[in-house]
């Protein structure tokens, strides 16, 4: 069966420090991968998605970046965190195979709580 792992679960970082959140998927190959953010009092917002290694699309301009160094690994990074980066970050995946699966269920990780102080 497929599973998705996301870490760290929680972290508190000072303003201006770097960030690295990691997500891995097991039990499938060539998944479509996503990073979402849920800020306090706001809905879930898509940040990045990827259909393959090295292929990253950004939905919103910000000081965050994403990378996909391996097929089932998705990393969210920042060189210098802002207070506004605080929130609940969720990684997700769907069946891929190089094509979009509009009918595929999306599976979310357990999330990472980031507090920037």
Which residues would be at the binding site for other proteins (CB under 8 A)?
A: 6, 32, 34, 36, 42-46, 49, 51, 59, 88, 90, 92, 94, 100-111, 113
| Cβ-contact 108, 94 below 8 angstroms | no
78 strand-pairing partners: 19, 64
Is the CB of 36 or the CB of 75 nearer to other proteins? Answer: 36
| Cβ-contact 93, 33 below 8 angstroms | yes
As measured in angstroms, the least distance from the Cβ of 16 to other proteins is 27
Is the CB of 17 or the CB of 104 nearer to other proteins? Answer: 104
As measured in angstroms, the least distance from the Cβ of 6 to other proteins is 8
As measured in angstroms, the least distance from the Cβ of 76 to other proteins is 15
As measured in angstroms, the least distance from the Cβ of 46 to other proteins is 6
What one-character DSSP code corresponds to residue 105? P
**In whole angstroms, what is the distance from residue 100 CA to residue 96 CA?**
6
**C-alpha distances in Å from residue 111, one per residue of 98, 102, 103:** 25, 23, 24
């Amino acid at each position: 069966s497929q599973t998705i792992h996301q870490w760290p679960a929680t972290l508190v970082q000072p303003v201006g420090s770097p960030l690295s959140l990691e997500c891995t998927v097991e039990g499938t190959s060539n998944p479509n991968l996503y990073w979402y953010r849920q800020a306090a009092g706001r809905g879930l917002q898509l940040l990045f998605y990827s259909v393959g290694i090295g292929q990253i699309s950004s939905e919103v301009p910000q000081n965050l970046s994403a990378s996909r160094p391996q097929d089932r690994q998705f990393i969210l990074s920042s060189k210098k965190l802002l207070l506004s980066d605080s929130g609940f970050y969720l990684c997700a995946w769907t069946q891929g195979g190089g094509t979009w699966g509009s009918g595929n269920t999306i599976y979310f990780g357990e999330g990472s709580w980031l507090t920037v102080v």
